[in-house]
Chain A
Amino acid sequence: MSDTYTLYNSTVMDHFMNPRNMGDLKDADGVGEVGAAACGDIMKISLKIREGRIEDARFKTFGCGSAIASSSMATELIKGRTIEEAMSFSNQEVVNALGGLPPVKIHCSVLAEEALKAALEDYVKRHPEAVAKPESVPA
Chain B
Amino acid sequence: MRTVYLDHQSATPLLPEAFEAMRPYFTEYYGNASSLHQHGLRVREALKKARQQQAALVGAESDEEIFFTSDGTESANLAVKGVAYANERKGKHLVVSATEHPSVMNSVEFLEKQGWTCTRVPVNAEGFIQLDALRKAITPQTVLVAVHHVNHDIGSIQPIHDVGAVCAAAGIPLYVDCEASAGWLPIDVRAMGASLVSFSPHRFYGPKGVGVLYRHRRARLVSILHGGVQEGGRRAGTENIPAIVGAGVAAEVAARELSSRSAHVARLQTRLWDGLLAKVPFIKLNGPLPGPGRAPNNINISTEFIEGEGQLLLCDLHGIAVASGSSCVSKSLKISHVLAAIGLDHALAQGNLILTLGKDNTEADVDYVVETFAKIVGKLRGMSPMWDEFERGVIDSVIAPRGVGRSFSEHAAAVSGKPAH
| A interface residues with partner B (beta carbon < 8 Å) | 7, 16-17, 19, 22, 24, 33-44, 60-65, 67-68, 104, 107
- Asked if A68 meets B350 with Cβ closer than 8 Å, knowing A37-B421, A40-B327, A60-B385, the reply is no
Contact A64-B307, Cβ < 8 Å, known A16-B313, A40-B347: yes
A17–B383 CA distance with the chains assembled, in angstroms: 11
Does A34 lie within 8 Å of B385, measured CB to CB?
A: no
A-B contact pairs, 30 of them (CB 8 A): A7-B313, A16-B313, A22-B383, A34-B415, A34-B416, A35-B416, A35-B417, A36-B416, A37-B418, A37-B419, A38-B333, A38-B421, A39-B327, A39-B333, A40-B307, A40-B327, A40-B346, A40-B347, A40-B350, A42-B415, A42-B416, A60-B383, A62-B384, A62-B386, A63-B307, A63-B328, A64-B309, A64-B328, A65-B310, A104-B331
Distance of A1 Cα from B39 Cα, bound (Å): 37
Q: Is B131 an interface residue (CB 8 A)?
A: no
**CB neighbours of B350 from chain A (8 A):** 39-41, 62
Q: How far is the CB of A2 from chain B (nearest CB, A)?
A: 13
Compute how far the CA of A122 lies from the CA of B307 in the bound complex, rounded to whole angstroms: 26
Q: Is the CB of B421 within 8 A of A63?
A: no
B414 to chain A minimum Cβ distance, whole angstroms, is 8
Q: What is the CA–CA distance of A33 and B57 in the complex, to the nearest angstrom? A: 55
> Shortest Cβ distance from A118 into chain B, in angstroms?
9
Taking a contact as CB atoms under 8 Å apart, the answer to whether A65 and B385 are in contact is no
Partner of B386, one of A24, A38, A42, A68: A42
A34 partner residues in chain B, CB cutoff 8 A:
415-416
Shortest Cβ distance from B314 into A: residue: A17
Docked complex: B296-311 residues within 8 A CB-CB of A: 305-310
Q: How far is the CB of A13 from chain B (nearest CB, A)?
A: 8
Contact, CB under 8 Å: A65 / B388: no
A24 to B388 Cα, complex, angstroms: 10
A39 to B386, Cβ gap below 8 A? no
Q: Mark B314-353, 1 if CB is under 8 A from A, else 0.
A: 0001000000001111010101000000000011001000
Does B420 make an interface contact (CB < 8 A)? Answer: yes
Contact with A along B364-404 (1 / 0, CB 8 A): 00000000000000000011111010000000000000000
In angstroms, how far is the closest chain A Cβ from the Cβ of B332?
A: 9
Tell me if B111 is interfacial: C-beta within 8 Å of chain A: no
Q: Is B46 an interface residue (CB 8 A)?
A: no
Residues of B within 8 A of A36 (CB): 416
> B118 contacts which chain A residues (CB < 8 A)?
none
Query: Which chain B residue lies CB-closest to A34?
Result: B415
Taking beta carbons and an 8 Å cutoff, which residues of B are in contact with A?
Answer: 305-310, 313, 317, 326-329, 331, 333, 335, 346-347, 350, 382-386, 388, 412-413, 415-421
Q: Are B383 and A65 in contact (CB under 8 A)?
A: no
Q: How far is B310's CA from A17's CA once the two chains are assembled, in angstroms? A: 10
A35 and B388 alpha carbons, distance in the complex (Å) = 16
Tally A-B pairs: CB < 8 A.
Answer: 85
Nearest CB in chain B: distance from A14 CB, A: 12
B residues less than 8 Å from A39 (CB atoms): 327-328, 333, 350
Which 4 A/B pairs are nearest by Cβ-Cβ distance?
A35-B416, A64-B328, A64-B309, A37-B418
- CB of B385 within 8 A of CB of A42, answer yes
A35 touches B310 (CB 8 A): no
Pair B310/A64 contact, Cβ less than 8 Å: yes
With the chains together, A14 CA to B308 CA distance in Å? 19
Min CB distance B195 to A, Å, is 39
Q: Smallest distance from the beta carbon of B55 to chain A beta carbons, Å?
A: 37
Q: Are A65 and B313 in contact (CB under 8 A)?
A: yes
B307 touches A62 (CB 8 A): yes
The 8 Å CB contact of B420, one of A7, A35, A61, A67, is A35
Q: Once bound together, how far apart are the Cα atoms of A36 and B310, in whole Å?
A: 16
Given contacts A24-B388, A67-B328, contact A37 B417 (CB under 8 A): yes
Most buried by A among B307, B308, B333: B307
User: Cα distance A28–B308 when bound, in Å?
Assistant: 29
A33 in contact with B415 given A7-B313, A43-B385, A104-B333 (CB within 8 Å) = yes
Enumerate chain B residues within 8 angstroms of A63, measured Cβ to Cβ: 307, 309-310, 328
- B326 closest partner in A (C-beta): A64
Q: How far, in whole Å, are A73 and B335 apart by their CA atoms in the complex?
A: 27
Q: How far, in angstroms, from A16 to B327 measured CA to CA in the complex?
A: 18
A78 CA to B2 CA, complexed, in Å = 40
CB neighbours (8 Å) of B327 from chain A are 39-40
Q: How far is the CB of A34 from chain B (nearest CB, A)?
A: 6
With a cutoff of 8 Å between Cβ atoms, the chain B residues found around residue A38 in the complex are 333, 421
Q: Report the separation of the CA atoms of residues A115 and B146 in the bound assembly, to the nearest whole angstrom.
A: 45
Q: Which residues of B contact A44 (CB under 8 A)?
A: 385
Q: How far is the CB of A55 from chain B (nearest CB, A)?
A: 21
